[in-house]
Structure 1
Amino acid sequence: MTAVRRMSGWLGVVLVGLLLVSLLVGEAQAQAAEGSASLLATLWKWAPLIGQGFLLNILISVLAMTLGTIAGGALGLGQMSPVWPLRHAAQIVTQFFRNAPWLVLLFYCILLLPYELRLGGLVIPMPAWIKATVGLALPVMGNVSEIVRGGVQALPQTQWDSAESLAFSRSQTLWMVILPQAVKPMLPPWMNLYAVLIMATPLVSVVGVEEAMTLTRFALSAENRSDLLLPMYLALLIAFFAYCYPIARWTARLERRFAVKL
């Protein structure tokens, strides 16, 4: 685990080094070409716009994770229901969305969800980024369902038996005994899933959402300079790495902390 952390840290250093090298090479090319603006100045000019797009990536990931966690938690508990039709239905839904391609689900949500919702006289717009958020929440729901099922079933049967001996009902046992203990081992895989989700948010650029990847392509098209290609995409890569790396470190710390025999 220490070697992996060191490797991840060195990866960040390598990415920053590549960005600096590409900036130096680009600056040399800009000076050799007459009328070319400074590469660093051009990056700085587009940084606020691309930064706004990156904030949209974060917003989409947070909302998708929230929706997926709520729906996936209910679905995961449904997989352990004593009522077999509910249990089998929850298992089918879980496996379908867990194994469906994320991009296909995005396209379905973009094409099938309406552009606006009418509730009486109230009209609620449904922009592309909201529909994309729903599209990402669906596979998150399937994965969270499996995390919840695995976390609950990982607890020993003696926990259920002890609660039953104290005259707890099944629902009381679940909410007062089982889930409080299962949350801890569920946190690391849940955080890993969020890291995967934030890295998957550039997929929404394919369906027309103006997030960081889309705005980076727009900036490259507006500048029409081949020497900007590597620095701009490297800067975007570093932004995602800087956001995800602390999550990975925190996840590893939680895994060590909760790696105890329950």
Structure 2
Amino acid sequence: MATDYPAAASISWPRRHPGKLLLAVIVVLWMAFGAPVNPAFVALLEWSPALASGFGQNIVISLLAIALGSVAGLMIGALSASPFRVARLPARIWVQVFRNAPWLVLIYFTTYVFPFELHIGTTWIAFPDWVKVTLGLALPASANVAEVFRGAMASIPDTQWEASRSLAFTRGQIVRSIILPQCFKRMLPPWMNLYAVITMGTALASLVGVHDLIDTAQIASNTVNRTGFTVLIYFSVLGLFFAWCYPISRLTQRLERRYAFS
């Protein structure tokens, strides 16, 4: 008599438990390349402080980019929801341009369009490349936040607007007291997902000379010049980005279920 095996459950396990799958891969690679007697593992320990410092640069860029993009995006989103066409048109052009522009092109654009130094009076102030990368990532972030904000406002039922007007609320009072509190709850999950994407986009910073995690890994790989170490260090880079972004993804899913609406 044939025996039924839980094939479907075993196939779906990696998708339901990506953290456990990553841990299993880490263990396998550690056994292959990272045993303490292996020079690749020793070299990785020596380069760990530099890798942590480089990843800190990525985190700073991502936090500033999402902060600037959120502030600008909320203002642009408010304009795109304006009843006046003269205000909606520039906002919609901004959203369409920067949502559909390649991020690398925007990073190169901000890197070379801004000067390397700012002249204020008799003082010259350096304009570092990581700030330019931050501005380059803030542009698509602002466009995406604006679209998220506009969609959140559009999802509010028209009956709430009509009921508020019947109570003699002004448009500003309706937006501040009734619409915005609901919008922010609905915006939070996609906003967090956007931040995770922005964090992964900071890996492009090394292409314009920013000393971030990827740049540090490249220097380490060229310095040690061992195949085992190269595999190990780039897998460590993957692990760092995963360790930062995966909890955000899980929290986003939890918030989506909590703030689910029909």
Same fold? TM cut 0.5 = yes
Aligned-partner Cα distance in 2 for 1:149–1:106? 26
Matched, 1:53 2:63: no
Who is 1:206 aligned against?
207
Who is 1:238 aligned against?
239
Cα separation, partners in 2 of 1:7 and 1:153, compared to 1, 3 Å:
same
Matched, 1:106 2:116: no
Measured after TM superposition, the shift of residue 116 of structure 1 is 2.2
Aligned-partner Cα distance in 1 for 2:67–2:256? 22
Cα separation, partners in 2 of 1:147 and 1:109, compared to 1, 3 Å:
same
In the alignment, is the contact (CA less than 8 A) between 1:19 and 1:235 conserved in 2? no
- SS for the counterpart of 1:124 is strand
Aligned residues: 251
Cα deviation, 1:18-69, whole Å, max 9, x if unaligned, reads 4314425895xx5xxxxxxx22211000000011000000000000000000
Measured after TM superposition, the shift of residue 12 of structure 1 is 2.2
Aligned-partner Cα distance in 1 for 2:244–2:234? 15
Aligned-partner Cα distance in 1 for 2:29–2:127? 38
Measured after TM superposition, the shift of residue 124 of structure 1 is 3.1
Larger mean Cα displacement after TM superposition, 222-231 or 191-200: 222-231
Cα deviation, 1:139-173, whole Å, max 9, x if unaligned, reads 11111111000011100011111221122211221
Cα deviation, 1:222-256, whole Å, max 9, x if unaligned, reads 11222211100001101111111110111011011
- SS for the counterpart of 2:83 is coil
Measured after TM superposition, the shift of residue 14 of structure 1 is 3.5
Larger mean Cα displacement after TM superposition, 93-102 or 161-170: 161-170
Aligned-partner Cα distance in 1 for 2:25–2:197? 19
Matched, 1:7 2:17: yes
In the alignment, is the contact (CA less than 8 A) between 1:15 and 1:238 conserved in 2? no
Where do residues 27-38 of structure 1 align in structure 2 (5 Å cutoff)? Answer: 38=39
Where do residues 177-188 of structure 1 align in structure 2 (5 Å cutoff)? Answer: 177-188=178-189
Cα deviation, 1:102-156, whole Å, max 9, x if unaligned, reads 0000000001011122333454321000000000110111111110000111000
Matched, 1:40 2:56: no
Where do residues 64-213 of structure 1 align in structure 2 (5 Å cutoff)? Answer: 64-213=65-214
Aligned-partner Cα distance in 2 for 1:93–1:157? 27
In the alignment, is the contact (CA less than 8 A) between 1:5 and 1:249 conserved in 2? no
Cα separation, partners in 2 of 1:72 and 1:22, compared to 1, 3 Å:
farther
Aligned-partner Cα distance in 2 for 1:123–1:17? 51
Aligned-partner Cα distance in 2 for 1:4–1:153? 37
Measured after TM superposition, the shift of residue 84 of structure 1 is 0.4
In the alignment, is the contact (CA less than 8 A) between 2:40 and 2:226 conserved in 1? no
Q: Where do 5+ consecutive residues of structure 1 fail to align? A: 31-37
Aligned-partner Cα distance in 2 for 1:227–1:136? 33
Aligned-partner Cα distance in 2 for 1:82–1:4? 48
In the alignment, is the contact (CA less than 8 A) between 1:80 and 1:149 conserved in 2? yes
Who is 2:218 aligned against?
217
